[in-house]
Chain A
Amino acid sequence: MTSMFLFGATEGGLFDFDATLPLMAVQVVLLTFILNALFFKPVGKVVEEREGFISTTRADAKKKLAEVERLESSLRDQLKEARQAAQHVISEAEQDSDKLYREALALATTEANASREAARREIDSQKESALNQIKSDASTLGDLIVERLLAAQ
Chain B
Amino acid sequence: MGSLPFFLPFAELEVGQHLYWQLGNLRIHGQVFMTSWIVIGALLVFVIAGTKKMERDPRGLQNLLEFLWDYIRDLARTQIGEKVYRDWMPFIGTLFLFIFVSNWGGALVPWRLIHLPSGELGAPTADINTTVALALLVSLSYFYAGLSNKGLRYFEYYVHPTPIMLPFKIVEDFTKPLSLSFRLFGNILADELVVAVLVFLVPLVLPVPVMFLGLFTSAIQALIFATLAAYYIGEAVEEHH
Contact = CB atoms under 8 A, between A and B. Distances in A.
Contacts of B54: 42-43, 46
Nearest to B1: A2
A21 B136 CA distance: 10
Contact of B137 (A14, A29, A34): A29
A46 to B, nearest CB: 5
A38 B129 contact: no
A21 B89 contact: no
A17 B119 CA distance: 15
Nearest to A14: B16
Interface string B117-133: 00100001001111011
B56 interface: yes
Interface in A30-70: 31-36, 38-40, 42-44, 46-47, 49-50, 53
B28 interface: yes
Given A24-B129, A27-B40, A5 B137 contact: no
Interface residues of A, number: 39
Contacts of B130: 20-21, 24
B129 A5 contact: no
Contact of A35 (B27, B56, B90): B90
Given A40-B90, A47-B69, A18 B28 contact: yes
Interface in B138-153: none
Contacts of A49: 56
Interface residues of B, number: 51
Contacts of A46: 54-56, 58, 62, 66
Contacts of A13: 16
A105 to B, nearest CB: 78
Contacts of A152: none
Contact of B94 (A14, A15, A28, A47): A28
Contacts of B89: 40, 44
Nearest to A49: B56
A19 B97 contact: no
Interface in B6-60: 15-18, 23, 26-29, 32-33, 36, 40, 43-44, 47-48, 51, 54-56, 58
Contact of B40 (A19, A20, A31, A44): A31
Given A5-B16, A31-B94, A35-B97, A42 B51 contact: yes
A38 B44 contact: yes
Given A21-B136, A28-B133, 6 more contacts: A9-B16, A12-B16, A17-B132, A27-B36, A35-B97, A39-B69
Interface of B: 1, 3, 15-18, 23, 26-29, 32-33, 36, 40, 43-44, 47-48, 51, 54-56, 58, 62, 65-66, 69-70, 72-73, 89-91, 93-95, 97-98, 119, 124, 127-130, 132-134, 136-137, 189
9 closest A-B pairs (Cβ-Cβ)?
A: A5-B16, A19-B26, A20-B129, A36-B90, A25-B133, A24-B133, A32-B94, A21-B129, A43-B69
18 contacts: A2-B15, A16-B16, A18-B27, A20-B28, A20-B127, A20-B129, A20-B130, A24-B124, A25-B133, A28-B94, A31-B40, A33-B90, A34-B44, A39-B93, A43-B51, A44-B89, A47-B66, A47-B69
